[in-house]
Amino acid sequence: MFRHLKAEDFVNLIEGVELTAKHQAHIDSCARCRATWESMRTVHAEITSLETDISEPDWTQFRSSVRDELLSRSIQRDSVVRRWTGWAIRPAVAWALSMLMAIGITTVTVLWKIDGRAPTPAPAGVEPAIPVEPAAEVIESGPEKSLFDDVVSLGEEEQEQLRQMLESAAKGAAYRQ
């Protein structure tokens, strides 16, 4: 047997939409669907016949009240925005700027100090990725080591000449004294 009508079919029936042949055959044969349709139709007719006496306002006044309310809300919104930018945003911006300045000054100072210092040795057990060449400044700042290196690199004759020169210089000094 064909299925019962659906909610949409009943509404179509109430609205006067023609049913398909199948639906029509079903409603002719199904007492339950026919009864539902009839009761629905009665309720629908009742609602349609209900008349609501709507008392209308003065439209000119209604329009002006809407316009005034729109205007007043717009002014309120503007003043809220101004209040925020005036009393909350400005101090916040000033605070943020001063913080930025403080951080900047600190960073510049620290970097300047680091530039003046020797590079810190790598921690024990950690090999640098790139072999570090001794810096020229370090060699220059150690004269004993460079003198020693020079002595070591002298030949035997040169060393003898240097010893004589040193001895004669020592004698000259003793004589002067």
DSSP states of 97-159 as a string? HHHHHHHHHHHHHHHHHHHHSPPPPPPTT---SSPPPPPHHHHHT-HHHHHHHHHHHS-HHHH
As measured in angstroms, the least distance from the Cβ of 62 to other proteins is 6
Per-position x/- string for 113-152, each x denoting binding to other proteins as judged by CB under 8 A, each - no binding: ----------------------------------------
Q: Do the beta carbons of residue 30 and residue 4 sit within 8 Å?
A: yes
Q: Which of 42, 120, 153, 177 binds other proteins (CB under 8 A)?
A: 42
CA distance 13 to 17: 5
Closest to other proteins by CB, 56 vs 133, is: 56
Total Cβ atoms within 10 A of residue 55: 4
Site for other proteins in 10-39 (CB under 8 A): 10-12, 14, 31-33, 35-36, 38-39
Q: Do the beta carbons of residue 33 and residue 2 sit within 8 Å?
A: no
Q: Which listed range, 2-10, 95-103, 157-165, 168-176, lies at the site for other proteins (CB under 8 A)?
A: 2-10
CA angle, residues 154, 158, 164, in degrees to nearest 5: 130
59 near other proteins, judged by CB under 8 A:
yes
Q: What is the CA radius of gyration of the chain?
A: 53
As measured in angstroms, the least distance from the Cβ of 73 to other proteins is 7
Instruction: For the chain, give the number of residues.
Output: 177
Closest to other proteins by CB, 32 vs 171, is: 32
- The residues binding other proteins (CB under 8 A) are 4, 7-8, 10-12, 14, 31-33, 35-36, 38-40, 42-44, 46-50, 52, 54-63, 65-67, 69-70, 73
